Structure 1
């Protein structure tokens, strides 16, 4: 060993690899280590976990450590890759259209929907110019340098370059430190991590879509080709509607929400949100009445507020002189001994084959024919199906079915499509942190679930986070493929709710030990929640509000 050289032992994916470090004070850079392991990953390495802490590839390791690299097949790794792609896109737009406003809006069909506000619609030719400029920025391989400043310093920097909204949002951060990234004279703040340079973006696509563009990152199946875009016009439409709602309320960013809460004027916002929900549910009930639909199917991913929505829809249907009955799909589970297994060998209660489809369809058909039916009741303690209530419905009396398989044609294969009315729910975030930092819909649902599980199921935040990947796999398989088959979509999100949920979620997330497998995810959620001013006054939230399903105090969910 040469004089002055220090050996650093890294336990990488269970294998010890020793590196000679010439400068002990500096250490060895993770991006250099990652090059030795690129062939071990099918995706692009974009991040690392060092001693159970997420670290950017620009990080230097000075001592023996446990290291796991994350690639674009990992959710955290894909987020970093996509965020870096967003940066390249923003830089290209700013180069081509100096005074443009670039908005990173929301996810759509495995991609990200963005808008470039020029005071006029963007053209296909201009989108091609943006892509060409992005390719040049990637080819130049500009370094992405991160510097940590105090809040006061960061605010001064952004004010000096005219980014006053970004400067003002930073004032609300709980932590005093602020990351500022600089790339080829472009300066920005992201609450998440980035890759070391623009050249790390190897695969992407960009194309015009509606009023904006879609950015597609590397696909999970093959990193050399971009994600495939599958048009989702109904989902895009509900996002557009949510954006219009936000504009109506006057809350499009966290900054404006914070100011409203600080001013004490949040009561009106809550009442407007509730009125919008009530109006839309009433409109859905009117369509069902007008079209004389017998079977109402409600499907939604986890923590979308299915139970509250279904109850409120029942009320509106009764106002329309209908008398709906509700049947729980859970009671049609096959006996536990016959439950299918997932790829990990565990009982897969989210598989459609966990439901007795033959009996379910026969019972539905018999009910619609006016016959008396002995419904099953599933005993979750014994894992067996037992005899439930006897049900007979009147002519034209609708049946409400809510569950993850609601839109899957297999569920109601014996019922003609013209007798079904299909509703898809989701909690689509209506506000973002700022123009360049979006809040994923999945994060909102996870925070809802953390709060609800703690309130009503005695689960810790750690337990909920650890079970979330399995929930997400079930959604990808059983819900999302069918969402565009819905007759209507309904967004259950409330524009103010993250400020409200922060009060409940923050202490739960802070309880997670640094050694826990859930620690990294908890820390990530806390990072973006810190920008929200807490809303702890519940007096304006009615007992029928969907958010009550998660925080408690609901009069319609038991």
Structure 2
């Protein structure tokens, strides 16, 4: 017998060799959503693992936790791939990006993506769930894995392993289908009941449980503008022949990275110039409003846009929404009783609209400055009036929300959504979350410019994400233009700065499992040098050396 001490104080004894899955069945009734993994201290454990010794600080992971949702989504993706292979052996599923509550997927042959075929695949998935088919894992030498995926005609997996430093690879098996996945799986598909295949654009969306309410399926909300940006980015990745990590590693080993950097930066500049041209053609635009989630590179984008607008003959005035914060004693509080600086009510909306309206009419306005030390708005004689060729550039998280600028006619505003939308995937079945790229960017910047540890950044991240979900993402389709700040080569550059920070997180830290996950993810990339990155690059905002700071 072995003793299990749970983190809630309870303890039990079980037969040595009992799996976490067997143990979880006893506690499933206490969980409103499926238990998908266990946690021993701060370390995740797959449920198939046998318990061979006494354990302390044990808990179970369900869909209410981010790790649990990731495991569920990964398992549902494997279920989709296995069902597709059974129904249509000639079809390859490409898992592209997260959108509208699920993963946008497509088939290698677009003609195969019909509602009839999708319905047949979904029915097969549900049959596999009804049979409670197990998922097993074996660890094989890397040479054996290379042979396996060559036989299975998965060149993306074969190329990925070529650059791995580990000597073994974990292979998952589901009803005769073998595959590799970055991250843990559920021990069977029995509880993968909440999903749907939703036809969309030229592909479909594998819908998952709603992250805010995991007992229900996420609501499908079309996002045509965001989808178009993703499609454009993926098209460019394929044109450059760098759509998966192995392709980027190949570029680095062949010494072609400097050329890839130049092309990627030129593409950014061309897109920014095009946005500036679009604004300049609309003579009625007086406010350019820029918004986007954390670590999207908004500051550098705004600076580069201003340069291109000046090339078009416009005079620019940059206004920070932060200077219109209400005084500290009027700042709203969040659910924890702390100042909520991200709430729209933290801004003096009435004063902001009065000032913007007067400026558009040609009147002179004294722009305030917010003193963050005293928590008071101050006036220091900063007076402003707009000429005929003058445009206001306003950056802030609420820029896309019409409530921020309710008094300004829509035709006088040009809204830009800026985000870091990852176009590179680990392979055709393992996607790179956009949030991971932003998190790594922020971690490096926080350490370099704010003296914060990676652990402190991780501690703040859930709060940052809540603010984005509330104040930014609901309004992204309001934008006139979306700009993707991701650079196809950047994770190879960020790796060398992020890894030392993540290794600094102690095993006893509650953020250890997240640090371990990110470190494993960065292992896929070869390290790239920074000397060829121009000082105007958006990535310089995070790694240092920007000419805009």
Q: State whether residues 495 and 527 of structure 2, in contact with CA within 8 Å, keep that contact through their aligned partners in structure 1.
A: yes
Deviation of residue 179 (structure 1)? 1.3
Give yes or no for the alignment of 1:146 onto 2:137. Answer: yes
Pairing partner for 1:546 from 534, 538, 541: 538
* Alpha-carbon separation, structure 1, partners of 2:168 and 2:183: 13
1:532 equivalent among 519, 525, 533: 525
Alignment match of 2:42 (pick from 39, 49, 52)? 52
Q: Secondary structure at the match of 1:15?
A: coil
* Residue number in structure 2 paired with 1:446: 439
The corresponding residue for 2:204 is 213
**Match of 1:63?**
54
Shift of 1:503: 0.9
The alpha-carbon deviation at position 37 of structure 1 amounts to: 2.4
Counterpart of 2:342 (choices 306, 330, 350) is: 350
Matching of residue 172 in structure 1 with residue 167 in structure 2: no
Equivalences for residues 391-470 of structure 1 within 5 A: 391-470=384-463
Q: Which of 266, 280, 291 is matched with 1:289 structurally?
A: 280
Residues 126 and 193 in structure 2, CA contact (< 8 A), matched pair in contact too: no
Superposed displacement of residue 372, structure 1:
1.6
Residue deviations 1:467-518 (CA, integer Å, cap 9, x gap): 1000000000000000001001010000000001001101111111101112
Q: What residue number does 2:3 align with?
A: 8
| SS at structure 1 position matched to 2:281 | helix
What does residue range 61-140 of structure 1 map to in structure 2 within 5 Å?
Answer: 61=51, 62-118=53-109, 120-140=111-131
Aligned to 1:162: 153
1:176, CA displacement in angstroms?
3.1
Matched, 1:324 2:316: yes
| Residue number among 22, 35, 38 corresponding to 1:32 in the alignment | 22
Q: 1:310 aligns with which of 286, 302, 307?
A: 302
Matched-pair contact (CA < 8 Å) for 1:93–1:102: yes
Deviates more, 1:60-69 or 1:204-213: 60-69
Distance (whole Å) between structure 1 residues aligned to residue 230 and residue 161 of structure 2: 27
3-state SS of the aligned residue for 1:179? strand
C-alpha distance in 2 between matches for 1:535 and 1:252: 17
Q: How many angstroms apart in 2 are the aligned matches of 1:119 and 1:481?
A: 30
Partner of 1:514: 507
CA distance in structure 2 between the partners assigned to 1:370 and 1:223 by the alignment = 52
* Alpha-carbon distance in 2 for matches of 1:241, 1:151: 35
Secondary structure in structure 2 of the residue aligned to 1:198: coil
> By how many angstroms is 1:270 displaced?
0.7
Alignment RMSD (CA, Å)? 1.4
Q: TM-score under structure 2 normalisation? A: 0.97
- Whether contact under 8 Å (1:172, 1:530) holds in the other structure is no
- 2:237 corresponds in structure 1 to 246
**Shift in Å, 1:396:** 4.0
User: In the TM superposition, what whole-angstrom CA distance separates every residue of 1:389-413 from its partner, at most 9, and x where no partner exists?
Assistant: 2222213411011111010111101
User: How far apart, CA to CA, are the structure 1 residues paired with 2:126 and 2:152?
Assistant: 26
Q: Aligned pairs, how many?
A: 546
Distance 1:7 1:528 in 2: 34
Q: Determine the C-alpha separation between the residues in 1 that align with 2:389 and 2:287.
A: 10
2:32 alignment counterpart: 42
Is 1:193 matched up with 2:187? no
The answer to whether the 8 Å contact 1:44/1:71 transfers is: yes
Which sits farther off after the overlay, 523-532 or 58-67? 58-67
* 2:369 and 2:379 in contact (8 A); partners too: yes
Whether the aligned pair in 2 keeps the contact of 1:340 and 1:354 (CA below 8 Å) is yes
Query: Distance between the aligned counterparts of 1:314 and 1:530, measured in 2?
Result: 38
TM-score (normalizing by structure 1): 0.95
Is 1:19 aligned to 2:13, yes or no? yes
SS at match of 1:203: coil
Which is worse superposed, 112-121 or 348-357? 112-121
Instruction: Compute the displacement of 1:298 (Å).
Output: 0.5
Contact 1:43–1:220 (CA under 8 A) maintained in structure 2: no
- Report if the CA contact (8 A) 1:121-1:211 is conserved: no
For 1:376, the equivalent position in structure 2 comes to 368
Structure 2, unmatched stretches of 5+, are: none
1:265 equivalent in alignment to 2:256 = yes
286 and 221 in structure 1: CA distance in 2 versus 1, 3 angstrom threshold: closer
| Secondary structure, counterpart of 1:199 in structure 2 | coil
Contact 2:40–2:55 under 8 Å retained in 1: no
More deviation in 189-198 or 172-181?
172-181
Shift of 1:121: 4.5
* Equivalent residue number for residue 3 of structure 1: none
More displaced stretch, 95-104 vs 319-328: 95-104
Paired with 1:331 and 1:37, the residues of 2 have a C-alpha distance of 51
CA deviation map 1:120-177 (0-9, x unaligned): 2421111111111111111121111111233333223323433343123123224333
Q: CA deviation at 1:185?
A: 1.4
1:496 and 1:128 map into 2 onto residues whose CA distance is 38
